[in-house]
Amino acid sequence: MKTAHQRLLAWVAEVEAMCQPDSVEWIHGSSIEYDRLMQRMVETGAATRLNRNRRPNSYLFRSDPSDVARVENRTFIACTSREDAGPTNNWIDPAELKKTMTALYTGCMKGRTMYVIPFSMGPIGSPLSRIGVEITDSPYVVVNMQIMTRVGERVLEALGERGEFIPCLHSVGAPLADGQEDVAWPCAPMEQKYIAHFPDENLIWSYGSGYGGNALLGKKCLALRIASNMARREGWMAEHMLILRLINPQGKRFHLAAAFPSACGKTNLAMLQPTIPGWRCECIGDDIAWMKIAADGRLYAINPEAGFFGVAPGTSMKSNPMAMRTLDGNSIFTNCALTDDGDIWWEGMDGPCDHAIDWKGDDWTPESGKVAAHPNARFTAPAAQCPVICEDWENPAGVPIDGFIFGGRRTQVVPLVTEALDFDHGVFMGAMSASETTAAALDVGQKLRRDPFAMLPFCGYNMADYWAHWFAMGDRLGAKTPKIFYVNWFRTSRDGRWLWPGFGENSRVLKWICQRIEGAIAARQTPIGQMPRDGDLDLEGLDIPAEDFAELMEVDRRAFNDDLDDAEEYLARFGDRVPKRLRAQLEAQRKRLA
């Protein structure tokens, strides 16, 4: 594979000299190349080929037990000013961090192949897309990147001789001495793991971890932490949001972007199967949205990813049948259990499992007293395989966003659905998004985890400045701002029963949201926003007692005031950088609740 891009060639040569690999391989992105790498990993014991009849062209990997998830305490934002990183990020001086990591990188690829992966986040050639180049010594990273991004020669053609690219350097941090035998999952000790972002240079360095977003640098590192900085500078938005298309019985399309913290059903909503007659849902993306204002003044979004990298445990035909069908083949599974017939299994999957090899490679039975799959076990699958993927999911122009949805896991206080009074109030809703630290904690005074816009681990700069950017985007959009809503599928009764059935029934809430967007129905005013009038939320066929529904929609003024006290305490962390408009929204809500 050839390129005349001198800056790219110089950077590859510089990394090769520093990391000292045995060989260098440029990734073309072909199926032949993918199959060759997989076969090599099967032969070394790194990968297990699954039963071809049950799950064709699919493989299972087991990570080292020390390398199973994001490592937020080893994730750094290295910008010039500590204040620019803000209190929610780990800041390190860029020069200091580069000195530390350069020492680690020196000779780190000895005994290994250095792979060069040109990749596009977003459809190749789209004005909303960005090109990155990841250098890695992990073939596991290569095959996952081939699913999660657009990879290879077409990307280099789009890059040309002088195009801009984001350099992404990754190593597992496990050089091999002459004759040393490799392990199935090489990685470095925790204290040597670094996931480093240099936003002033649009640069990513990752060392020591081979897992997920620590190593697939197009995902959270580029698509959110670096892209959020780029978006602020250039006047667009990089958000931790799913994108879906809803189509009503009359054929009208609505496009919604939704942000939820972890464990709040984000992927399930992205692939929703409506239970109400005549409504259809199509998936555009399950995790990340890049959005720009187009010539018509509206906000258009693309999904920059080409695949799904989802949490496996809890995914089932009940919770997400479309995700399960997406995984029928051509997929990679990490830290799942291996069944006796050569398939995969995890807790929450349909049907029991009597015996398996667990995620650590040990025998497992239900009596083992341990989980078969790691709680953060993952699947990687091509988005194109999803049965409800939208025909426009790769439209280079994106899709026009009609509404934003925020949410969190709250067993009390927050009702099923609320519409913001205006865009500024909606920004306040997103900024104060929160989930309970434990699902069992029912008292209103329990500790909340604030996760603004579901971006807490992913905003690459000061969160207060991020809120200001949202206000600035609203000002630019003017009358064409999307409507904003807040949902909570997780409210329970005072005796601990779920008040809302969730899953496909969430389509009833989305129907009301779409009706509000098109102005088809009115709403009732409450101190916290606009809510459905009696009879406007479609409950036909649901068996929800009237007293349960009343509790589900209840606005407890005292509880909301307590919630605002917690919100005010959270805002204090950001000091004078908090936008005055956000503080004004908090005070306005207090007055409405009085």
Q: How far apart are CA 85 and CA 462, in angstroms?
A: 5
Q: How far apart are CA 514 and CA 512, in angstroms?
A: 5
User: Which residues does 21 contact at the CB level (< 8 Å), separation at least 6?
Assistant: 109, 110, 112, 113, 114, 137
Q: How far apart are CA 139 and CA 120, in angstroms?
A: 19
322, 271 Cβ separation under 8 angstroms: yes
Residue among 243, 326, 319 at smallest CA distance from 281: 243
pLDDT tier at 2 (50, 70, 90 boundaries)?
confident
pLDDT digit string (tens) for 533-578? 999 999 999 999 999 999 999 999 999 999 999 999 999 999 999 9
Residue 111 Cα distances to 116, 175, 176, 180, 206, angstroms: 16, 6, 5, 9, 19
Work out the angle at residue 320's Cα, subtended by the Cα atoms of residues 492 and 497, and round it to the nearest 5 degrees.
15
* DSSP E strands, 172-288: 194-198, 203-207, 237-239, 242-247, 253-259, 280-285
pLDDT digit string (tens) for 495-509? 999 999 999 999 999
Q: How far apart are CA 15 and CA 555, in angstroms?
A: 58
Q: How many other β-carbons are positioned within 10 Å of the β-carbon of residue 8?
A: 21
Residue among 208, 193, 266 at smallest CA distance from 489: 266
CATH superfamily name and code, 6-51+66-235: Phosphoenolpyruvate Carboxykinase, domain 1 (3.40.449.10)
CATH top class, domain 239-306+394-593: alpha beta
pLDDT computed for residue 445 by the predictor? 47
Residue among 162, 164, 149 at smallest CA distance from 117: 149
Q: How far apart are CA 377 and CA 338, in angstroms?
A: 12
List own/partner pairs for 515-520 with CB under 8 A and 24 or more apart: 516/419, 516/483, 516/485, 517/254, 517/402, 517/403, 517/483, 518/252, 518/254
pLDDT digit string (tens) for 246-300? 999 999 999 999 999 887 889 999 999 999 999 999 999 999 999 999 999 999 9
Residue among 268, 219, 104 at smallest CA distance from 171: 104
Q: How far apart are CA 108 and CA 118, in angstroms?
A: 21
Give the N- to C-terminal CA distance of the chain in Å, as an integer: 67
What percent of the chain clears pLDDT 70, i.e. is strictly above it? 98
User: Which residues does 87 contact at the CB level (< 8 Å), separation at least 6?
Assistant: 462, 463, 573, 574
Q: Where in the chain is the domain with CATH 3.90.228.20?
A: 239-306+394-593
pLDDT computed for residue 441 by the predictor? 35
Give the residue numbers annotated as catalytic, written as ranges. 264
336, 346 Cβ separation under 8 angstroms: yes
pLDDT digit string (tens) for 441-498? 333 444 789 999 999 999 999 999 999 999 999 999 999 999 999 999 999 998 999 9
Q: Which fold has domain 308-383?
A: Phosphoenolpyruvate Carboxykinase; domain 2 (2.170.8)
pLDDT computed for residue 224 by the predictor? 98
343, 351 Cβ separation under 8 angstroms: no
Q: Where in the chain is the domain with CATH 2.170.8.10?
A: 308-383
**Token couple for 379:** 């699947």
Q: Where in the chain is the domain with CATH 3.40.449.10?
A: 6-51+66-235
pLDDT computed for residue 444 by the predictor? 43
